[in-house]
Structure 1
């Protein structure tokens, strides 16, 4: 049954289609996580694979796993040197005035005992750049393709709300929080020297389909 989540596999890497609602790592509010299931993705190897990056719990789609420690280090270096190309799809809770653009808003993390933590725009924060364009509009909501240059925590969620001016539908922190959060890691590509790239595309999940958007619009 675990094969159905696999989008790409070879001796170094696995790309899985992570379901929404499952955290990558455990935490105080997420005792169940992907770590509980990594043993099922060994596929003949002695050791389970390790996540190279993370997706928010409520974000679905492409997640890269490394099948050995050396590959894990190489893939981490690829992320650090911006040799990884990713795209995301999001349904916004409205329609932006422009049809495409770029958001350049540095981000920093803040927290309080009352409200918990979140990311906010801060000139002295970490550089954060996202490119976007509208793919379709339906029922006063827009389907957006994001192509981020950087990979900060909650980057696309803050850039949608504060940069584009329309939050991602269902976002419980930066938006209205009604219904599931409609953010999906659509594709990933990691170039490798002397080998074919790690490359995968994740189909739209059921909660996008129920919102009226499907692959026929892309």
Structure 2
């Protein structure tokens, strides 16, 4: 087996170099000082392959030490390299390595597309309309996934037979209240409320660990830029003000050992972002050592895998549950709510929490 592993490692190095995923300069040693799985906070996945995975596997092979069993790195590669040249062939090679180490992983070059049905409309008047955006649905066409064919903006337009104007966004894996305007003028006026911080947003997040009863986090965040979508953005922008109020609603302990701990702890956290930075809630909760379950980029991969295996859960557990504002034209207080859905309520029940929609 050692010879076969060595062959795969050589092929992996060749693929990384062939597709410009190989780093020609040594990595900063500080990047290795991370407790986050795959060093997500300090290095890109391809850097981890080069400076951690290949290096450590080479050491095990050279010293004829025991190799890891029940090993599965291909699923992570499929997620992290999906938008990069060579990502598919690198993932296929890693799947062969996974199989050799005792766990067969079936990997498709692209996941099968999800077909979203009719969008649930939560609120509508002559100026605005709000939907319950499903997890996994992009708000509008993006450079980030050229293969996608379904977008909330186009789907809603076709559903109601009228053009709509997005006035804010939700990350693709986040579900919940998404508001659109029905005219450019209405979009302009509601956007001013967002700018003036006169719109209140409430989220619920299922996180690893016991959250404090209440905490207000005021931590500036450096803007996270995408290599494609943000190619021409300022790469040296100073960190931006970011504030979030967190309240713990529920806590649970399960007698299941993960890593070095004999039990696992989870919390349901109420989140009120006071600013609107990219991935603000996810990054702030990570800073508090309360990563959201299902968060690939800022989460805990061991607990993500636990929820996949025990709860068949494959989504980010972040829900935009409420949007509150004073209507720009009627001056009425508008409160729009989105349900958590049966899957989340079932998990609440399994964790020993209230499992009726009215409780949240």
Instruction: State the TM-score bracket (shorter-chain normalisation).
Output: 0.7 to 0.9
Aligned to 1:91: 206
**Normalized against structure 2, the TM-score is what?**
0.53
Between stretches 126-135 and 18-27, larger displacement belongs to 18-27
Which of 218, 223, 230 lines up with 1:109 in the alignment? 223
Q: Which runs of 4+ in 1 moved over 4 A?
A: 110-113
- Whether 1:131 aligns to 2:266 is no
Q: Secondary structure at the match of 2:140?
A: coil
Q: Paired residue for 2:317?
A: 182
Deviation of 1:94 (Å): 1.9
Q: Considering fraction of residues, name the structure with more strand.
A: 1
Tell me the CA shift for residue 100 of structure 1.
1.1
Question: What is the alpha-carbon root mean square deviation over aligned residues?
Answer: 2.5
TM-score, normalising length: structure 1 = 0.85
- From 168, 171, 186, the counterpart of 1:71: 186
Could you tell which deviates more after superposition, 101-110 or 165-174?
101-110
2:155 corresponding residue in structure 1: 37
Point out the more displaced range, 174-183 or 193-202: 193-202
Write the deviation string for residues 39-83 of structure 1: whole angstroms up to 9, x where unpaired: 23436xxx3212110000000000111011110000111100111
Question: Which has the greater radius of gyration?
Answer: 2
Q: 1:132 to 1:54 in 2, by over 3 A?
A: same
Gaps of 5+ in 1: none
The aligned counterpart of 2:4 is none
Higher RCO (C-alpha 8 Å, min separation 6): 1
In the TM superposition, residue 86 of structure 1 has moved relative to its aligned partner by 0.8
Contact kept? 1:8, 1:14, Cα under 8 Å: yes
| Cα separation, 2, equivalents of 1:136 and 1:216 | 15
Q: d(CA) in 1 for partners of 2:197 and 2:170? A: 17
Q: For residues 87-109 of structure 1, give each alpha carbon's deviation from its aligned partner in whole angstroms, at most 9, with x where no partner exists.
A: 0000002212x211111111112
What displacement does 1:187 show? Answer: 0.2
